[in-house]
């Protein structure tokens, strides 16, 4: 893993806010250094003008030896897929999400979009593709159909690309969804820190109510109740999100022990640029540990109520993960 000083992380933050967050670290630092004398003139062309201005102001204060109190954030690259790659030991999924180095700063959404454009000849909007890919791992069928159409060759190509490029994630989704019990009103599973997740199955019911005192006017009352459902798509999403929450708890706990103040927002982690090296290393360490555990064996057994044998694609990926450089970027 590349190591940087607090000043270098501040330069990275400026480049990120400008719109270069998918470039290599050295490219981002170099960009800021190349524009060091006229950074203020480029606010109007920045992707995030407010964040850009804050970062540039912090740099100027730093140059003047003034304390800044500035915090910067780095985001996980497709955190859901990162987690699913670690759970399944799928090298391909981890490479596409920067958990295992490829020599590039990977972007899963652009990568899949480029594959689709190459194979279909049709240009797709990246934002729509990102939305589709994010929800696909959690069992969504509507989002892919909304973008690529129903029963189209484009939709079939999308499923083929996903199965090939993020094999472990797609397989895990199918396995977990296959454990849906049409008679169950509740599922629970245990996380590595002993936290027990309880997921109630809910459905909506509508009741037509007539009010005699209002000349028999009627209205419909909709209520959410705990009720078994024949089909459901929430199981995979909740399992992955629960592990995401465990990662956040571990990040806060471990950073606090190292006297690093951390402000997490889902899969984005904010801290002083002086502490960002610790934040990156801590996140990498947690993903490496996650990949070395067979958490899915326990979770699948709890969900299915029976012994389910689960074998990962690869068993020793934690060694490669410890060399990752862009898991947080």
Do the beta carbons of residue 99 and residue 80 sit within 8 Å? no
Tell me the two tokens of residue 63: 């140059």
Question: 204: how many CB neighbours lie within 10 A of its CB?
Answer: 9
209-232: b or e for each residue (b if 16 or more CB lie within 10 Å)? eeeeeeeeeeeeeeeeeeeebeeb
> Per the structure, how many domains does the chain have?
3
What per-residue confidence (pLDDT) applies to 222?
Answer: 72
Spatial distance between the Cα atoms of 161 and 151, rounded to a whole number of angstroms: 16
Query: Is residue 164 one of the residues assigned to a domain?
Result: yes
Could you tell me if residue 300 is inside a domain?
Answer: yes
Residue at 209 is within a domain = yes
Residue that is last in its domain, among 205, 226, 247? 226
Q: What whole-number distance in Å separates Cα of residue 156 and Cα of residue 179?
A: 25
Could you tell me if 54 and 124 lie in one domain? no
> Domain with 31 in it: what CATH number?
1.10.287
- Domain edge (last residue) among 16, 41, 70: 70
* 122-127: long-range contacts, CB 8 A cutoff, minimum separation 24: 122/154
Q: What is the pLDDT of residues 29-61, one digit of tens each?
A: 999 999 999 999 999 999 999 999 999 999 999
Question: Which residue among 226, 248, 277 closes a domain?
Answer: 226
Q: Calculate ∠ Cα 188-92-192, nearest 5°.
A: 30
Q: Does residue 188 lie in a domain region?
A: no
For residues 202 and 217, membership in a common domain is answered with yes
Does 298 map to a domain? yes
pLDDT at 305 over 90: no
Residue 285 contacts residue 247 (beta carbons within 8 Å): no
Q: What is the mean pLDDT of residues 79-99?
A: 95
Residue 227: pLDDT over 60: no
- Do 109 and 56 belong to one domain? no
pLDDT at 274: 97
Range of the domain at 237: 79-183+232-256+294-321
**Among the residues of 188-266, which ranges form H helices?**
234-257
Q: Are residues 133 and 250 in the same domain?
A: yes
Q: Quick one: 142 and 248 in the same domain?
A: yes
User: Is residue 95 located within the same domain as residue 141?
Assistant: yes
Q: In what order do the strands lie in the sheet with 268-271?
A: 72-75, 268-271, 263-265
pTM: 0.89
Contact criterion met (CB below 8 Å) for 136 and 91:
no
Residue 1: per-residue pLDDT: 87
pLDDT recorded at residue 273: 97
Residue 1, domain member (yes or no): no
156, 251: one domain? yes
88 in the same domain as 46: no
Which residues have CB under 8 Å from 212's CB, separation 6+? none
* 131 torsion bin: left (phi>0), alpha (psi -120 to 50), beta (else): alpha
Q: Does residue 262 form part of some domain?
A: no
> Does residue 268 contact residue 73 with C-beta atoms inside 8 Å?
yes
Q: Give per-residue pLDDT as tens, 155-188.
A: 999 999 999 999 999 999 999 988 888 877 888 9
Residues 21 and 88 in one domain: no
- Please give the pLDDT value at position 126: 86
Reply yes or no on whether the pLDDT at 89 is more than 60. yes
Alpha helices, H only, 41-107: 49-63, 79-88, 91-96
User: Are residues 251 and 147 both part of a single domain?
Assistant: yes
Question: Is the same domain home to 60 and 86?
Answer: no
Give domain status of residue 175, yes or no: yes
User: Which of the four pLDDT bands, split at 50, 70 and 90, describes residue 196?
Assistant: very high
In a shared domain, residues 149 and 25 = no
């Amino acid at each position: 893993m590349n190591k940087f000083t607090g000043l270098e992380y501040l330069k990275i933050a400026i480049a990120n806010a400008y719109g270069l967050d998918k470039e290599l670290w050295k490219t981002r630092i170099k960009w800021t250094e190349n524009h060091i004398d006229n950074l203020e003139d480029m606010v109007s062309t920045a992707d995030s003008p407010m964040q850009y201005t804050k970062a540039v102001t912090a740099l100027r204060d730093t140059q003047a030896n003034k304390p800044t109190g500035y915090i910067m954030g780095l985001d996980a690259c497709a955190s859901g897929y990162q987690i699913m790659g670690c759970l399944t030991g799928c090298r391909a999924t981890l490479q596409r999400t920067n958990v295992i180095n490829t020599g590039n700063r990977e972007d899963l959404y652009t990568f899949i979009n480029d594959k689709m454009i190459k194979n279909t000849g049709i240009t797709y909007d990246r934002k729509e593709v990102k939305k589709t890919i994010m929800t696909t791992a959690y069992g969504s069928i509507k989002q892919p159909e909304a973008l690529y159409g129903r029963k189209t060759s484009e939709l079939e190509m999308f499923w083929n690309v996903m199965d090939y490029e993020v094999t472990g994630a797609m397989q895990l989704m199918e396995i977990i969804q296959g454990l849906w019990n049409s008679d169950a009103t509740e599922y629970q599973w245990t996380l590595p820190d002993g936290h027990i997740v309880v997921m109630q199955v809910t459905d909506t019911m509508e009741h037509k109510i007539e009010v005699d005192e209002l000349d028999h006017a009627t209205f419909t009352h909709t209520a959410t109740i705990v009720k078994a459902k024949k089909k459901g798509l929430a199981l995979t999403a909740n399992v992955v999100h629960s592990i995401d929450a465990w990662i956040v708890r571990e990040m806060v706990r471990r950073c606090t022990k190292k006297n690093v103040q951390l402000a997490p927002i889902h899969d984005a982690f904010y801290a002083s640029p002086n502490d960002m090296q610790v934040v990156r290393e801590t996140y990498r360490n947690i993903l490496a540990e996650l990949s070395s555990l067979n958490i899915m064996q326990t979770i699948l057994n709890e969900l299915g109520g029976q012994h389910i044998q689960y074998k990962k694609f690869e068993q020793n990926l934690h060694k490669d993960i410890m060399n990752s450089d862009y898991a947080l970027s």
